[in-house]
């Protein structure tokens, strides 16, 4: 087996909490007293375009929340959206940081996220300092599990798939990467990830997992 040179990371569900999935949306909607059924119907109409950066955050909120007058400001709603992002308990951030410090691997994000939340998360949690490249849906206009997002990462980085690992918590995204010959790992915790990486020749020190 060729030595692993590159590790591609999902962000939400692996390094951080999800940014704007159903649980996060429900928490914010409850805070502002919004009807979740109505919001979800409107969200479903536009969220893929939002994550592909075809509409802005302002437009997304105009269509989902501020289509009628509200008793709260848009800035308050955005602040509540951002507050849903946290370091994932039991996540792999410590592993990422150790690998970044080793300078042995190219590390990149492959994630689905809107531009506004993606850039907040990358900056606020220091991921912009740990990762070498960002193959995010908002930059590429394509979302996982579309195989094109993985192929773009391989092409831009100039890597053969057998030398690349992809880590994600969702089965459909892992399967899509594996279909291109990438070593795809479904994330189920830092110990499991360490074991899977070790089998591929990528070793993590024990104290990162404690």
Asked if pLDDT for residue 42 goes beyond 90, the answer is yes
8 Å CB contact between 188 and 13: no
Place of tokens 């951002």: 82
Place of tokens 């940081």: 97
DSSP-derived 3-state class of residue 1: coil
8 Å CB contact between 161 and 147: no
Using pLDDT thresholds of 50, 70 and 90, give the confidence band for residue 50. Answer: very high
User: Residues with Cβ < 8 Å from 87, sequence gap 6 or more?
Assistant: 15, 16, 17, 93, 125
Q: Report which of 97, 131, 76 is spatially closest to residue 123, judged by C-alpha positions.
A: 131
Residues 66-120: tens digit of each pLDDT:
999 999 999 999 999 999 999 999 999 999 999 999 999 999 999 999 999 999 9
Q: Where are the domains of the chain?
A: 6-17+87-208, 22-83
Using pLDDT thresholds of 50, 70 and 90, give the confidence band for residue 57. Answer: very high
Element (H, E) at 167: strand 164-168
Residues 164-181: tens digit of each pLDDT:
999 999 999 999 999 999
Q: Report which of 120, 108, 88, 205 is spatially closest to residue 149, judged by C-alpha positions.
A: 108
Using pLDDT thresholds of 50, 70 and 90, give the confidence band for residue 209. Answer: low
DSSP-derived 3-state class of residue 54: coil
pTM score, whole prediction: 0.95
Place of tokens 């990528």: 202
**Architecture category of domain 6-17+87-208 in CATH:** 3-Layer(aba) Sandwich (3.40)
What's the whole-number mean pLDDT along residues 48-65? 98
Report the CATH number of the 22-83 domain.
Answer: 1.10.150.240
% of residues, the chain, pLDDT over 70: 97
Asked if pLDDT for residue 208 goes beyond 90, the answer is no
8 Å CB contact between 150 and 110: yes
The residues with which 12 forms a beta bridge, in sequence order, are 16
8 Å CB contact between 208 and 94: yes
User: Quick one: pLDDT at residue 177?
Assistant: 98
* C-alpha dist (Å) from residue 121 to 15, 91, 134: 11, 15, 12
User: Quick one: pLDDT at residue 142?
Assistant: 98
């Amino acid at each position: 087996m060729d030595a692993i040179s590159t590790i591609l990371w999902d962000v939400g569900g692996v390094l951080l909490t999800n940014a704007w999935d159903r649980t996060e949306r429900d928490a914010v909607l409850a805070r502002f007293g919004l009807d979740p059924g109505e919001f979800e119907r409107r969200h479903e109409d536009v969220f893929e375009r939002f994550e592909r950066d075809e509409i802005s955050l302002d437009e997304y909120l105009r269509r989902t929340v501020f289509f009628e007058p509200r008793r709260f400001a848009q800035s308050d709603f955005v602040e509540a959206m951002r507050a849903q992002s946290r370091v994932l308990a039991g996540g792999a951030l410590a592993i990422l940081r150790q690998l970044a410090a080793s300078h042995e691997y190219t590390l990149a994000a492959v994630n689905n996220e809107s531009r506004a939340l993606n850039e907040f998360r990358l900056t606020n949690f220091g991921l912009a300092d740990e990762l070498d490249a960002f193959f995010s849906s908002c930059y590429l206009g394509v979302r996982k599990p579309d195989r094109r997002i993985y192929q773009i990462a391989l092409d831009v980085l100039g890597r053969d798939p057998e030398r690349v690992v992809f880590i994600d918590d969702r089965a459909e995204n892992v399967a899509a990467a594996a279909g291109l010959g990438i070593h795809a790992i479904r994330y189920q915790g830092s110990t499991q990830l360490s074991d899977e990486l070790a089998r591929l020749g990528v070793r993590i020190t024990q104290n990162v997992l404690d």
